Structure 1
């Protein structure tokens, strides 16, 4: 997996104008996967407690089929005013056109044009203008 991060300015946990990109293909005896992602944010605060991004955008694609993670296929395109992850809570406010689905040991997820749900280890709901989810493994 290739991963690159660029920050125009960083002071401790505060980052201005962050850009992250990753791409990779993985194949082993359990199956295969391929993914590519690009994301950028105007401001990011990240520490041991959580991760906050303001004015962020991203695109990506992923496909996987293996015995551990199950089946996944998704395409993402989003622009978020706020993207917050703290503890087991994940919340995004912005525009999303994410489309795809997955089924595996961690649960089931389905989205079409930003509208969807997650059921399993993570429970959540998505709309084209935001989403919220709870990772039960991190909450309890």
Structure 2
């Protein structure tokens, strides 16, 4: 894709290849299969992991999260994952060897799928937060913001236009 530019609207539909998720393949290549579905859900938690030879625990990281919603289905296996959600709200913060960030999110509905570093998401929602790392620097307030890095994007009220020159 050398020299080509990629543009998309992400508030409704987004597709991307993420540098950070490419590195995370180290953490998920041997993840066992799992699937779940929830009518209503709520949860909070914290974590701190480092250098354990288990899926999701190889790259040192620490974080906290909280989320609640109505309707969620999720499946994952190795570097593949898919999720569909109804109305929901969540917040989280994480620091790792490859970046740090915090983001709050509210969505009416979304569906997403990932295969390693390649992801696609369809939904309607707004994000507020910031992150910095190998994927670049990102700042958003109520779905409006900017990301500068290997993939540069501008978001306006939940819709996003991005450009990636490889």
TM-score interval (norm. to shorter): 0.5 to 0.7
Alpha carbons 2:128, 2:141 under 8 Å: kept:
yes
**Number of residue pairs matched?**
120
Q: CA deviation at 1:104?
A: 4.4
In structure 2, the partner of 1:107 is 136
Structure 1, unaligned stretches of length 5 or more? 1-11, 27-32, 134-140
When the two chains are superposed, the root-mean-square deviation of aligned CA atoms in Å is 4.3
Per the normalisation by structure 1, the TM-score is 0.54
Structure 2, unaligned stretches of length 5 or more? 1-32, 49-61
What is the distance in 1 between the residues matched to 2:121 and 2:72? 15
In structure 2, the partner of 1:16 is 37
What is the distance in 2 between the residues matched to 1:89 and 1:127? 23
What is the distance in 2 between the residues matched to 1:125 and 1:83? 20
- Which structure's residues are more often strand, by fraction? 1
Higher relative contact order (CA 8 A, sep 6+): 2
**Residues 1-140 of structure 1 aligned to structure 2 (within 5 Å):** 13-17=34-38, 19=41, 21-24=43-46, 35-40=64-69, 41-56=71-86, 57-62=88-93, 72-104=101-133, 106-120=135-149, 126=155, 128=157
